């Protein structure tokens, strides 16, 4: 893979260079263990250099005509389209994504770039009335300045671009730290696309590093005014705490424990298809995945039989094979954790309709049922190919079970009565929920985000303007004010 030899470096102030840390981040293929790249880590000094470069470049970029700014995103879109095969191969190699998953990620990345083109022109100022005669109140919409972006390993190319492109389109500069398991797809590849698209030096910087090396330097640095973080709720809580202590805006897209609800009048075959996709896409390593499949007891037997049969038909193996549905988990730690969780849950009394074995980072699908209401597994996010089938009696119980989790990201309701489904959806405490569809969705202009431990703030569309700009009030007094003394 040429990307893994050419791009195994830091990208700071328009220059490709090695990090100066004393150890390397090793990038492995999670399927076969092949070493893809070895990257000397960036130190806290290089984080400072990246932020200072961004600070220097941002003012001129903000003053650039937005019609000129948007040309960068048009060119970036064409570059991705031209290199789609190479990027697909890199996603498959670096994170074990299947062909289906890579296509899904690239499709959305292109959609978000198309939205960034439009976003460049969208911020609007306002003139507001005043109770003071002769006073004009102008409210300007301005970039926040420099944005720090921390992206995850599961959709690294997409979720880096999802914050980076809008922040840049709105006149900001960015420092991006990709996850250490996906430094190329989530970091330097994004930088290369924008460099080749003509983005001026310093506006996008990529630091490939780890908290073991830099601590909280990325969060505490005085330059960035906003941090966009996508990852676990545990780390998100820490990010929020540090940002609050340093008076920074935090946009947090965190984990989920989504419920897909199947009512008795649902199209069972269709609901099965939606549930299998919602749970097992990208090996279940999706924040919106349907951890819990809630099924009306009147159709539980039919649904469960068809669900298990469909899951059994999924092909597990080499993600390079276009026929593969389920590839490897991202690393051995994750694979071991998921395997142990299934074993512990079965030992505690759950019934395994499928008890998936593991081989290396490949973990075969499991389907568990017969769970006690207080089972710990019902409360947590499972980042792996494990479905929990939970029967219910009536919609009130379905709503209660769906809400009985610290998370509130996504969900779905399947029913023949759409408006009934909407009424149920309104009672479920999530940021997003879908009627007669999967739990896994993202669209460029629709607010994306969660409630409770699933995060704070929203991304996409107008929400990007709220996330990456600020408002400034300038008043103009025409004539003379009267002062009391």
Compute CA 323 distance to the chain's CA centroid, rounded to the nearest angstrom.
26
| Positive/negative CA dihedral, 121, 124, 125, 126 | positive
At a CB cut-off of 8 Å and minimum separation 6, what does 485 contact? Answer: none
Residues 142 and 274 in one domain: no
| 67 and 43 within one domain | yes
Q: Is residue 88 part of a domain?
A: yes
| 220, containing H or E segment | helix 217-220
d(CA 327, CA 323): 11
Q: Tell me, yes or no, whether 65 and 18 share the same domain.
A: yes
Q: Is residue 447 domain-resident? A: no
SS3 204: strand
φ, ψ dihedrals at 475, nearest 5°: -105, 145
Residue 482 domain-assigned?
Answer: no
Q: What are phi and psi of 467, to 5 degrees?
A: -75, -40
Do residue 461 and residue 398 come from a single domain?
no
Mark residue 461 as left, alpha or beta (left: phi above 0; alpha: psi -120 to 50; beta: remaining).
Answer: left
* Token pair for 275: 């549930």
Of 322, 313, 362, nearest to 338 by C-alpha is 362
pLDDT along the chain (485 residues), means of 10: 89 98 97 97 98 98 97 98 97 97 97 96 95 96 98 98 98 98 98 98 98 97 98 97 98 97 98 98 98 98 98 98 98 97 97 96 98 95 97 97 98 98 98 98 97 96 97 97 91
Give the Å distances, CA to CA, from 390 to 41, 169, 289, 295. 45, 44, 16, 6
Half-sphere exposure of 248 (CA within 13 A, CB side): 27
User: Looking at residue 409, what is its pLDDT?
Assistant: 98
Picking from 116, 77, 56, 49, the residue whose alpha carbon sits closest to that of residue 468 is 116
d(CA 74, CA 194): 10
Q: What percent of the chain has pLDDT over 70?
A: 100
pTM of the entire predicted model: 0.96
The pLDDT assigned to 2 comes to: 80
The domain that holds 462 is classified in CATH as 3.40.605.10
Distance CA(312)–CA(350), nearest Å, equals 19
| H or E element that contains 412 | strand 411-414
Residues 208 and 298 in one domain: no
| Same structural domain, 20 and 148 | yes
* 287 carries an active-site annotation: yes
Domain limits at 282? 259-435
What does residue 274 show for φ and ψ, rounded to 5 degrees? -65, -40
Number of structural domains in the chain: 2
What 3-state class would DSSP assign to 76?
Answer: helix
**CATH code, 387:** 3.40.309.10
Same domain membership, residue 95 and residue 109:
yes
Phi, psi of 257 (to 5 degrees): -145, 60
- Is residue 158 domain-shared with residue 277, that is, in the same domain? no
Give the pLDDT of residue 332.
Answer: 96
Q: Establish if 443 belongs to a structural domain.
A: no
Residues 94, 217, single domain; the answer is yes
> CB-side exposure of 218: number of CA atoms within 13 Å?
30
Catalytic residue among 55, 253, 300, 381: 253
* 196 lies in the same domain as 249: yes
Q: Hunting for tokens 């460029």 — which residue is that? A: 444
Catalytic residue among 287, 300, 381, 395: 287
DSSP string across 83-136: THHHHHHHHHHHH---HHHHHHHHHHHHHHHHHHHHHTT----EEE--SSTTEE
Q: Buried b vs exposed e over 206-232: b needs ≥16 C-beta within 10 Å?
A: bbbbeeebbebbbbbbebbbbbbbbbb
Residue 481 lies in a domain: no
> Within this chain, do residues 81 and 108 fall inside the same structural domain, yes or no?
yes
For residue 91, is it within any domain? yes
Q: Which residue has the tokens 């999670």?
A: 30
Question: Do 360 and 462 reside in the same domain of the chain?
Answer: no
* DSSP for residue 456: E
Spatial separation of the C-alpha atoms in residues 394 and 301, rounded to whole Å: 16
483 assigned to some structural domain: no
Has residue 441 been placed in a domain? no
353 backbone dihedrals φ, ψ, rounded to 5°: -70, -30
Sign of the torsion angle spanned by Cα atoms 171, 174, 178, 182? positive
């Amino acid at each position: 893979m040429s990307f893994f030899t050419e791009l195994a470096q830091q990208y700071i102030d328009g220059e490709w260079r090695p990090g100066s840390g004393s150890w390397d981040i090793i990038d492995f293929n999670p399927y076969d263990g092949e070493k893809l790249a070895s990257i000397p880590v960036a130190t806290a000094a290089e984080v400072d250099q990246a932020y200072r470069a961004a600070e220097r470049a941002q003012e001129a970029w903000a003053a650039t005509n937005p019609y000129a700014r948007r040309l960068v995103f048009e060119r970036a879109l064409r570059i991705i389209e031209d290199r789609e095969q190479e990027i697909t191969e890199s996603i498959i190699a670096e994170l074990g994504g299947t062909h289906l998953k890579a296509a899904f990620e690239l499709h959305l990345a292109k959609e978000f770039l198309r939205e960034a083109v439009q976003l460049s022109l969208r911020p609007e100022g306002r003139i507001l009335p005043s109770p003071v005669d002769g006073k004009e109140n102008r409210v300007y919409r301005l970039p926040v300045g420099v944005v720090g972006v921390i992206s995850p390993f599961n959709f690294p190319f997409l979720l880096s671009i999802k914050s980076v492109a809008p922040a840049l389109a709105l006149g900001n500069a960015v420092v991006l730290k990709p996850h250490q398991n996906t430094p190329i797809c989530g970091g330097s590849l994004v930088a290369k696309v924008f460099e080749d698209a003509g983005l001026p030096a310093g506006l996008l910087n990529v630091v490939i590093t780890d908290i073991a090396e830099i601590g909280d330097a990325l969060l505490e640095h005085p330059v960035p005014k906003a941090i966009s973080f996508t990852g676990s709720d545990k780390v998100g809580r820490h990010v929020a705490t540090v940002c609050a202590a340093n008076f920074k805006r935090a946009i947090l897209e965190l984990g989920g424990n989504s419920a897909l609800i199947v009512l008795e009048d649902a199209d069972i075959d269709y609901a099965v298809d939606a549930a299998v996709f919602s749970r097992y896409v990208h090996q279940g390593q999706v924040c919106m995945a349907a951890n819990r499949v809630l099924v009306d007891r009147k159709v539980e037997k039919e649904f469960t039989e068809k669900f298990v049969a469909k899951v059994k038909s999924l092909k597990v193996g080499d993600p390079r094979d276009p026929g593969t549905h389920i590839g490897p988990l991202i690393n051995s730690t994750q694979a071991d954790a998921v395997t142990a969780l299934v074993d512990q849950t079965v030992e505690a009394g759950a019934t395994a309709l499928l008890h998936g074995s593991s081989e290396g980072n490949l973990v075969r699908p499991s389907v568990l049922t017969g769970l006690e209401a207080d089972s710990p597994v019902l409360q947590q996010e499972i980042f792996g190919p494990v479905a929990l089938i939970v029967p219910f009696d009536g919609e009130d119980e379905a709503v209660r079970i769906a809400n009985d989790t610290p998370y509130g990201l996504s969900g779905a309701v399947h029913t023949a009565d759409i408006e009934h489904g909407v009424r149920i959806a309104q009672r479920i405490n999530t940021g997003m929920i879908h009627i007669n569809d999967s739990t896994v969705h993202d669209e460029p202009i629709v607010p994306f985000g969660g409630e409770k431990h699933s995060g704070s703030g929203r991304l996409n569309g107008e929400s990007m303007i709220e996330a990456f700009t600020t408002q400034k009030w300038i008043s103009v007094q025409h004539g003379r004010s009267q002062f009391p003394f």
